[in-house]
Amino acid sequence: MIATYHQYILDFKRPSGTSRGLMTTKETWFIRLEKDNAVGVGECGILRGLSIDYRPDFEEKLKWTCENINFGLEALLRELIEFPSIQFGLETAFKSLENEDQFQLFPSPFTKGFDSIPINGLVWMGSEDFMRAQIKEKIEAGFDCIKLKIGAINFQTELDILKSIRKEFSKSDIELRVDANGAFSKANALEKLKRLSEYQLHSIEQPIKAKQFEAMAQLCEDTPLPIALDEELIGVFSKEEKQKLLQTIKPQYIILKPSLVGGFSGSKQWIDIAEDLNIKWWITSALESNIGLNAVAQWTYTLKNTMPQGLGTGGLFTNNFDSPLIVKNGTLHYDLKQHWKFNL
């Protein structure tokens, strides 16, 4: 088997804002496997300032992985425990290699075009007018679950936006999720959660910064609206650490990004632990190209989770790869009339 890696820079159609700042580009890496005239490809999607494996020796580790590809997948995954994005890329590349169609990783009614995955419509931070325009666009596009990034503009303005949605759409019409990306302080988080809860929200992601275990546990106990852990899961590697974290914090939900938490195997371990503790979960992409999004979506479908998933990011980039993944009426479809165009 021969393995090579390649860098690729994705360009956002418009700057996308979170409480960590504006993004205009996103770097990603691909692993390409060749064996007996078959080709497999996987994406190692990293997010600056968020991925635990965004570190100076990342490319060196990617090179080492390719040079030692014949160790086999299981041995490599153990060696790459601190490099979740490479684990995800490898798992995908091996799946891709073993299938006749390199893009059909987990054949199912979804990949046959018979079924779809409900997803949330993502509203990025920006000016009030920009956020309102995005919400209008998502509702007109048929989304009945909308997720708003909050924490960067005036909090009262964000509340006013939520209030205006609720004036027009009830909880049964539109499910609202918010994501603070750790923007609230320990001192003001509970008060902000109380004010947000007036608008019948489904949940809030990561209200305070990660690794404040006692404060987050207290928030999850006192909160008037469900809390979902996201960044909190990053950099937690062993099964014992995962179990301890969830038992300590007792969140209502966890959100899994395979690129950030150890690929499919790492995510599945989180799911198993969460379910044992009656904690609910959903899956989200991490701004990968359509190669990574395709892998996450196909795998997610096999899990049979009926909640809206966070898989609507394929249309964010000007130079994404053409694929059969299309968003229609708030759901993700695999349209067999569309074809892959991926050349590296």
CA distances, 13 to each of 8, 212, 320, 325 (Å):
16, 35, 10, 18
Query: How would residue 130 be classed by pLDDT, with cut points 50, 70 and 90?
Result: confident
User: Is residue 327 domain-shared with residue 225, that is, in the same domain?
Assistant: yes
Query: Residue 19 pLDDT > 60, yes or no?
Result: no
For 132, counting Cβ atoms within 10 Å of its Cβ (0-12 exposed, 13-18 middle, 19+ buried), the class is middle
Query: Residue 310 pLDDT > 90, yes or no?
Result: yes
Question: Among the options 138, 147, 149, 242, which is catalytic?
Answer: 149
Count structural domains, the chain: 2
Per cent of the chain over pLDDT 70 is 99
- Summarize pLDDT for 149-205 with one digit per residue, the tens: 988 788 999 999 999 999 999 999 999 999 998 999 999 999 999 999 999 999 999
Distance CA 73, CA 87 (A): 9
Q: Is 268 a catalytic residue?
A: no
- Residues 182-219 as b/e (b if ≥16 CB within 10 A, e otherwise) read bbbeeeebbebbeebeebebbbbbbbbbbebeebbbeb
Per cent of the chain over pLDDT 90 is 88
Query: Residue 277 pLDDT > 70, yes or no?
Result: yes
Looking at per-residue pLDDT, the higher value among 229 and 315 belongs to 229
What integer best gives the mean pLDDT of the chain? 95
Which of 44, 64, 98 terminates a domain? The answer is 98
Of the candidates 63, 52, 50, 49, the one whose C-alpha atom is nearest the C-alpha of residue 7 is 63
Query: Residue 127 pLDDT > 80, yes or no?
Result: yes
For the chain, the farthest-separated pair of C-alpha atoms sits apart, in whole angstroms, at 61
Query: Residue 116 pLDDT > 80, yes or no?
Result: yes
Distance CA 12, CA 26 (A): 8
Give domain status of residue 56, yes or no. yes
Query: How would residue 20 be classed by pLDDT, with cut points 50, 70 and 90?
Result: low
CB atoms inside a 10 Å sphere around CB 151: 21
Half-sphere exposure at residue 54, Cβ-oriented, CA atoms within 13 angstroms: 13
What does the chain come to in residues?
A: 344
| Across 13-27, 88-102, 127-141, 260-274, least confident range | 13-27
User: Is residue 41 domain-shared with residue 126, that is, in the same domain?
Assistant: no
Give domain status of residue 34, yes or no. yes
Query: Residue 220 pLDDT > 70, yes or no?
Result: yes
Find the domain containing 205 and state its range. 117-334
Query: Residue 336 pLDDT > 60, yes or no?
Result: yes
CATH code, domain with 61 = 3.30.390.10
- Do β-strands 21-35 and 38-45 pair in parallel, antiparallel, or remain unpaired? antiparallel
Of the candidates 264, 182, 261, 189, the one whose C-alpha atom is nearest the C-alpha of residue 223 is 189
Question: Among the options 95, 192, 209, 257, which is catalytic?
Answer: 257
Distance CA 81, CA 295 (A): 20
CATH code, domain with 176 = 3.20.20.120
- Can you read off the two tokens belonging to residue 72? 């086999």
Find the distance separating the first CA and the last CA of the chain, reported in whole Å. 18
CB atoms inside a 10 Å sphere around CB 303: 15
- Can you read off the two tokens belonging to residue 84? 């979740």
Query: How would residue 312 be classed by pLDDT, with cut points 50, 70 and 90?
Result: confident
User: Is residue 176 domain-shared with residue 325, that is, in the same domain?
Assistant: yes
- Whose tokens are 């892959």? That residue is 340
Q: Is 149 a catalytic residue?
A: yes
pLDDT of the residue at 295: 98
